[in-house]
Copies of this chain bind each other. A is one copy, B any other.
Amino acid sequence: MSSQERSAPRRRNPRGQGQVLKAQLVDAAAKLLSTLDQPETLTLRQVAREVGVAPASIYSHFPDLGALIQHVLRLRYEELARLMDQAAQSAPDPLVDLVARCAAYVRWGVGQPGHYRTLFGGRMPDDLVPGSAHGAGAELLEAVVTSLAAAAEGERRQPSAEQQWQAGLMLWTALHGLVSLYNDHGNIPWPPLDDLIADLLSLHTGRPAAEIAALLPQCGDDPGLAPDSI
């Protein structure tokens, strides 16, 4: 697994290029976080080994291990938020917006199980997860609540603010439960993911599942960002 056991003493970066190692450290930590069975067992020395550098060298770029992890998590969190916003940015109406947003959420979570668990699994100490400090993805949640409420316009009865909030919460918990169990229990026979997303959104919007399914963006649509950054 490790690229180099003890091969070359590693070509040192030139004078002003100290940031190169920093980027390598971030990439390696991200890769390990998403690869490890238990992301919270990420080790400073693992990162150092992955990059091929001495453990102490990390302290030139991050004050401690926690700061490195926190930096990686912040990047992932921003990536997810950006992805959801991009998915919804050209939506012609609130329902499409909601569907695109939720589909992006689920697909990102299923596509990156390690990162998802690390961000939303509640495993990391709270002060390490960026969103958690402000309410665990509060921005994402609020966007979903807003979209859901807007999509529910024109219903028979206008729900109160509390009801809107509760409905959004329920939707988020359902999305989270779907991603979590889908990721953690691959051994049970899951239906196609898109069917589940459509079914879930159908339940929470009251629209027929077929209508939702027709609105689901294709998997290849709007990748948002190429998988270059790991």
The interface of chain A, by Cβ under 8 A from chain B, is: 37-38, 40-41, 117, 120-123, 125, 132, 135-136, 138, 141, 162, 165-167, 169-170, 172-178, 180-185, 187-191, 195-196, 199-200, 203-204
Contacts and interface: CB of A to CB of B under 8 A. Distances in A.
**Interface SS majority for chain A:** helix
A123 B190 CA distance: 20
**Could you say which of A132, A166, A181, A191 has the most chain B C-beta atoms within 10 Å of its C-beta?**
A181
B177 A191 contact: no
B176 A191 contact: no
B123 A188 contact: no
B185 A136 contact: yes
A165 to B, nearest CB: 8
Given A166-B191, A181-B172, A190-B169, A122 B117 contact: yes
A29 B224 CA distance: 46
A203 B205 CA distance: 10
Given A169-B191, A177-B174, A184 B122 contact: yes
Nearest to A191: B166
Given A38-B40, A183-B122, A136 B166 contact: no
